[in-house]
Amino acid sequence: MLIERLGFDVVQDVQVLTPTRKGPLGVEELNVKLQRVVQEILWGVNVPPPRPGLRPRFLLHDKVIQNRNNYDLGLMNGAVGRVTAIERDGAMEMVFDGQPVTITPDSGRLSDLSLAYALTIHKAQGSEFPCAIVLVHKSHSFMHHRNLFYTGVTRAQEVAIVIGDRWALRNCAQRRHLERRKTFLSLLERPAAI
């Protein structure tokens, strides 16, 4: 549907957003599943599940995110790219915002990357995508509030798709999250006792 009816490139234009990293609807689990589906449907690659305790291996065409600033490569935390080649020695060529980047396996920089088919809503703050798929489920109830939901759906430039259950949507709508600052500002405003 996303390709045929809406004309989106599933890897480039569509971003799945979820509140958490852990759990069946968290970033880590979703990225494993989405990698398998996207690789099989778009490129006919059968992706074996990752070994327990290890993260999934990167494949050609995968969507990846930089998780730490790397000034040598000019990659900042949160930059999303795409794997364009994987060499026999394990070196990976990627494109981030039109700029080619190569990372060799002995550089230790591959650990700064992770799959980016799904991101946390927090990680996506400040970014926009043509299509955002926002997950809102009762398993995330401890994180539900209007600001989080608003942040998720406003990442979409053209289309926002919300997937979840009615209870979770109602819970998000009803809960206000007040950002309480913890500062010593009130102490500075008081007249000094002499």
Mind listing the pLDDT tens digit for each residue in 74-87? Answer: 999 999 999 999 99
pLDDT grade, residue 187 (50/70/90)? low
CB-based contact 120:135 (threshold 8 Å): no
> What's the pLDDT score for residue 180?
60
Domains of the chain, residue spans: 14-174
Q: What is the pLDDT of residue 177?
A: 62
Query: Each residue of 51-110: pLDDT tens digit?
Result: 888 889 999 999 999 999 999 989 999 999 999 999 999 999 999 999 999 999 888 899
Q: How many angstroms separate the CA atoms of 92 and 66, rounded?
A: 13
Please check the confidence at residue 143 and state whether its pLDDT lies above 70: no
The answer to whether 80 and 72 have CB atoms below 8 angstroms apart is no
Q: Is residue 120 over pLDDT 90?
A: yes
Write down the pTM of the prediction. 0.85
- Residue 17: predicted pLDDT: 96
The CA R_g of the chain, rounded to the nearest whole Å, is 20
Q: Tell me the CATH class for 14-174.
A: mainly beta
